[in-house]
Amino acid sequence: MADDTREMDVRMLEILVCPLTKGPLVHDPERRELRSPQAGLAYPVRDGIPVMLPSEARRIDDEASSGSY
């Protein structure tokens, strides 16, 4: 089984953008996801590979209002 806690390659993080907004992403290693503040989405990172499909992302709008984002 692959290690889900693998760190993302820094070079990959520098070139990845949100597929919807083309804006920058923020890596959250604790939740294993890449967040797009502009789109209000968090894309999962599975086995060290970001899943950049909007259909796989979760909304983060609710977190912003609760103060946990």
pTM: 0.77
CATH of the domain at 46: 2.20.25.10
Task: Give the Cα separation of 58 and 13 in Å (integer).
Answer: 19
Domain for residue 4, yes or no? no
Structure-derived torsion over alpha carbons of residues 16, 27, 30, 4, reported in degrees to the nearest 10: 20
Residue appearing with tokens 């909007």: 54
The pLDDT of residue 23 is 97
Compute the distance between CA of residue 51 and CA of residue 64 in angstroms, rounded to an integer: 22
60 within domain boundaries: yes
Confidence of residue 63 (pLDDT cuts 50, 70, 90): low
47 CB contacts (<8 Å, ≥6 apart)? 2, 3, 4, 6
**Does 3 map to a domain?**
no
Per the structure, the complete domain to which residue 45 belongs is given by 10-66
Q: Tell me the pLDDT band of 11, cut-offs 50, 70 and 90.
A: confident
Whether residue 2 lies inside any domain: the answer is no
User: Is position 5 within any domain?
Assistant: no
Number of domains in the chain: 1
Cα 66 from Cα 49, distance rounded (Å)? 29
